[in-house]
Structure 1
Amino acid sequence: MSDLMAQITSWPWAWAWATLFAIVLLRAGATYGIGRAVAAGLLRRGEPGPRVRRAMDRVERWGPPVVTASFMTVGAQTVVNAAAGLSRMTFPRYLLGLLPGAAIWATIWSTIGAGVFLAATRAGNDRDEAVVLAVVTVVLVVAVGVVAYRTRRDRVVT
């Protein structure tokens, strides 16, 4: 992946964006297709786990906006796309969420994401930059963890 990102960051922005857009369309579409295949009984299935069940409930309730929003998160895209397939969301309705979500994802990764990637790979050349990058990363991970823990705890209490 790092070789691909290094190569993509040297391309003109439009080409990088279009490549990332195509990649996410294929990846998310394949995940949705696997979910549909499982729902149709073409693939062996077990009972969905709690995370997938929650995603299915959200997809069934809110539809395409949940698919779009999943592309602005880390770690939810695969679960939500599979849940869209498992809940048998129609493909045209799924596309209403997939296309803007893929565009948002490609924009994030071809701008901010590429910048962070380049900073991380170049930080190895300068020890001070590497330390600052590591500290910022740890602080962000801890902050996200604290917010997630408090949100979960508050949901359980109420």
Structure 2
Amino acid sequence: MDEIALAAGALYVIVLLRAGGTFAVGWLAGAGARRSRFAERTSSAKFRRAERAIQRWGAPVVAVSFLTVGFQTAANLLAGSMRMPLSRYLPALFVGGAAWALIYATAGFGILKGLGRLFAEQTALGVAGVVVLLIAAGGVLVYRRRRAVVVPLSGDAASDTS
């Protein structure tokens, strides 16, 4: 149990620094990010979805974002760029970060113990499982890269005369 508490504590510090840092970058960049070379990235569907959710629901979206994959960074960055008051952001960060740290610490140790037992009792099956997971992860990466389509912005350089 001590190892889970230690891991959860370390993960909590990490998530507070990472998410808080992302919020701070968003805060400092503010609206300027929308006019910079990062404008394309902040106009992606993921960022627009996060922005709409934050505008509608506020801090609870930031807290729940810690339970998602791929939405967390967008939510924290946009909360900062939208200048969410710290009195609303910090409780969401503390609660969401704690949930994230506990889930990853407990699930992480559970998976590691299960893998350790599997490799100790049935090494060939463990190796085969890892190989299957690596192939699946590689397949997902290839699928995502092939599926990614460059969408032209509404005003492309050829038609922009101003």
TM-score of the pair, normalised by structure 1: 0.68
Cα distance change on mapping 1:122 and 1:91 into 2, 3 Å: farther
Which residue identity lines up with residue 110 of structure 2 in the other structure? G
Contact conserved, 1:67 with 1:98, CA < 8 A, in 2?
Answer: yes
Where in structure 1 are there 5+ consecutive unaligned residues?
1-9, 146-158
Q: Distance in 1 between matches of 2:82 and 2:133?
A: 39
Contact conserved, 1:37 with 1:43, CA < 8 A, in 2?
Answer: no
1:60-119 CA-to-partner distances (Å, cap 9, x unmatched) read: 111111111111111211111111111111112111211111010110111012322454
What's 2:26 paired with?
35
Q: Distance in 2 between matches of 1:35 and 1:130?
A: 43
Q: 1:13 offset after TM fit, Å?
A: 2.4
Counting matched residue pairs gives: 133
What's 2:156 paired with?
none
1:16-56 CA-to-partner distances (Å, cap 9, x unmatched) read: 21111111000000000001111064997343222212211
What's 1:57 paired with?
52
Q: Distance in 2 between matches of 1:60 and 1:42?
A: 18
Which residue identity lines up with residue 21 of structure 2 in the other structure? A
Where in structure 2 are there 5+ consecutive unaligned residues?
144-162
Contact conserved, 2:119 with 2:125, CA < 8 A, in 1?
Answer: no
Q: Secondary structure at the match of 2:84?
A: coil
Which residue identity lines up with residue 68 of structure 1 in the other structure? A
Contact conserved, 2:30 with 2:82, CA < 8 A, in 1?
Answer: yes
Q: Secondary structure at the match of 1:72?
A: coil
TM-score of the pair, normalised by structure 2: 0.67
The match for 1:24 among 11, 15, 20 is 15
What's 2:101 paired with?
106
The match for 1:131 among 128, 131, 143 is 128
What's 1:96 paired with?
91
1:67 is the counterpart of 2:62: yes
Structure of greater Rg: 2
CA RMSD of aligned residues (A): 3.3
Q: 1:11 offset after TM fit, Å?
A: 5.7
Q: Distance in 2 between matches of 1:18 and 1:68?
A: 18
